[in-house]
Chain A
Amino acid sequence: MREKTMCLGKDDVIQVKEAYKWILHSLVSQELGVPALAKSLFEVSVGFKHPETDGDCHFLAATCSGCFKPAKNKQSVFTRMAVVKALEKITEESFRRKFSCPPKRPTTLCALQEIQCLHVPVFVAGRYNKFSRTLPQTPWVIDGERRMESSVEELITAPLLSAFQAEGFNFSSSGREDVDVRTLGNGRPFAVELLNPHKAQFSTEEVHQLQETINKSSSKIRVRDLQIVTREAVGHMKEGEEEKTKSYCALIWTQRPIEENDIEFLNDIKDLNIAQKTPLRVLHRRPLAVRQRVIHTMSAQYRDSHHFCLQLRTQAGTYIKEFVHGDFGRTRPNLCDLMKTETDILELDVESVDVDWPPVIPEPESQKGRSSLPEHQHKDTPPSQEDIQCHPLGSLF
């Protein structure tokens, strides 16, 4: 018999923790009438305290003092990690001398300390359009003072937070646009991570309803393809930020008077390489560097002797405004160099963000025929007073 026991290796011995789980899970499952899983979307963490045995591990401090270093934030020096480390270091003989094996039977029961319930985060993705030129993507707060009303982030997440009864969120998107830039076309992919949602089961119809709620709440944004996705799927969106192309439409002002054929040459330029030093307007929070970027195609539409509309398809991460006005000559070549005159950008719209994610959600049968916003309705309506920043010329277009 003795020989048999001596053949057992470390892995043959069942950990107390595992045995405990096997016993407890089936008991809890029976009592509550629900399946108990080791890994699940909903975690209940129950904490117990047992003062009688709190001091059991303290003998380790004498034998392996190096493992137990006091730190500012720790209440007790005997953290789980420190104890595990010491147990690995201590020799079997030393252990047996200091601590009885098996341990003595305790005289008191443990007491409940706390119960914490946590649901894993739920990810909601979609694409958003921004029709306002006075709406920032994220809240604009400086020195505790809000500089601009609302934000794309708040308009999207507020209804989601309340529907999912979540405690917090993380908003991310495939790139960003400035306050004064509209996002048209299919919109920009975004994902919201809802933290500890108290309600996590939603049908496709319910999610679609949520989309309608968001769209009705404000005319400044529009959301489409709203859907619940997995954490892994969110990776597609960030890929888009760095790798995929974007299309823009810019209203250009030229200092010298131009005629229709003066801008035709722009249509023939393909894959123009430009070098952009970090724009001055972001230089306070970005490292100083030179970025090589490519303008794939351009298309110009004449407006009048000092204005034309320029459509561009560019590599992700291209600063369009700086390409147009040159940013003190720190983007080269820039539109001023190409046009051989000072040029400035009066308005900018994002026409498309060329990422194939999230998957398109077709409108449900019941919704077809309803008047939902046509693609470019907002583009063709004259901009409202609030949309025009200090550009008096903006009102002409």
Chain B
Amino acid sequence: MEDTEIRGAPSVIDRYFTKWYKTDLKGKPCEDHCVLQHSNRICVITLAETHPLLQKGKAIKSISYQISSACSRLENKVSGKSKRGGQFLTELAPLCRITSTDGEEFTIFSCVRGRLLEVNADILTRPNLLLEKPSTEGYIAIILPKFEESKSITEGLLTRTEYEDVVSKRAAMKGLRNHYWYITMQCTDAWEGGRAKWHTCNILEPKKKKVQKGELSTRRQFLYL
């Protein structure tokens, strides 16, 4: 653990929490979440380090806990020791929506079943907390799983090792794509004109970066086997 090496002693997270991961939420690539599970079963939902929002150059435009016209996570109120009144969440319940300055929208999900105790209101006024300290002050929400379910909630989640596996496989795939040779073909007619005609423009070159979203792509690269 990097943290321990620098400081010489386990951090608060190392001492009390186990890290669990859920990757590619709702099929969206790299939208990874990290669930910090305390030894007392309470779960803190945070962004994993590979989440697009935490990559270089991203800035936050807005954060909203209003996930539908009828439901705002900010209005969640719990009372008493048994935390009555907290919204009960399933794994794919949305917690909040975050919009970045470059127009991308991300939804953060619960990842675990349980009662919502609180959402982090601080990130509404200081969104930088989320970017700078995603694992601590920039947490998204705190969830209390049912006592009987405290062990089973992690069944659908990845351990740190499994997560690291997924991340390194992603990097390898990326590398692989650059390693193989492709035939680049271009179509002569636009899509609207009916079936497209393709001719080869380049043969055997490495994978080129994808074109920007929204542009009509007239070039395609096909894997040469």
Contacts and interface: CB of A to CB of B under 8 A. Distances in A.
Interface in B114-143: 117-118, 120, 122, 129, 133, 136-137, 139, 142
B9 A280 contact: no
Interface in A380-397: 390-394
Given A283-B142, A283-B144, A288-B117, A328 B9 contact: no
Contacts, number: 66
B207 interface: no
A326 B40 CA distance: 19
B42 A253 contact: no
Interface string A278-314: 0011111111100000000000000000100000000
B80 to A, nearest CB: 5
Contact of B80 (A287, A390, A391, A392): A287
Interface stretch (B10-18, B25-33, B50-58, B59-67): B10-18
B186 to A, nearest CB: 53
A286 B78 CA distance: 11
B122 A288 contact: no
A346 interface: yes
A255 interface: yes
B38 A281 contact: yes
A127 interface: no
A193 interface: no
Contacts of B120: 329
A224 interface: no
A280 B142 contact: yes
B68 interface: no
A284 B41 contact: yes
Interface residues of B, number: 29
A325 interface: yes
Interface residues of A, number: 25
Contact of B16 (A253, A281, A288, A393): A281
A281 B9 contact: no
B83 A288 contact: yes
B79 A328 contact: no
A253 B38 CA distance: 22
B81 interface: yes
Contacts of A326: 136-137
Contacts of A354: none
B44 interface: yes
B80 A280 contact: no
A130 to B, nearest CB: 20
A280 B79 contact: no
Interface in A312-334: 325-329
B210 interface: no
Contacts of B81: 285-287
A344 interface: yes
Contacts of B38: 280-281, 284
B225 to A, nearest CB: 51
Contact of A393 (B8, B11, B117): B8
Contact of B7 (A344, A390, A394): A344
A312 B186 CA distance: 73
Given A283-B42, A287-B81, A326-B137, A344 B9 contact: yes
A285 B83 CA distance: 9
A287 B77 CA distance: 11
A344 B12 contact: yes
Contact of B78 (A255, A288, A325, A328): A288
B137 A328 contact: yes
Given A287-B79, A288-B83, A253 B139 contact: no
Interface string A252-280: 01010000000000000000000001001
B87 to A, nearest CB: 13
Nearest to B10: A390
Interface in B72-108: 78-81, 83
Given A280-B40, A329-B120, 17 more contacts: A253-B7, A280-B38, A280-B42, A280-B44, A280-B142, A282-B40, A284-B42, A284-B144, A288-B117, A306-B7, A325-B12, A328-B44, A328-B136, A329-B136, A391-B10, A392-B8, A392-B9
20 contacts: A253-B9, A277-B118, A280-B40, A280-B42, A280-B44, A283-B144, A284-B40, A286-B81, A287-B80, A287-B81, A288-B83, A288-B117, A325-B12, A328-B44, A329-B133, A344-B7, A344-B9, A390-B15, A393-B8, A394-B9
Interface of A: 253, 255, 277, 280-288, 306, 325-329, 344, 346, 390-394
CB-based closest 4 A-B pairs: A329-B137, A284-B40, A391-B9, A325-B12
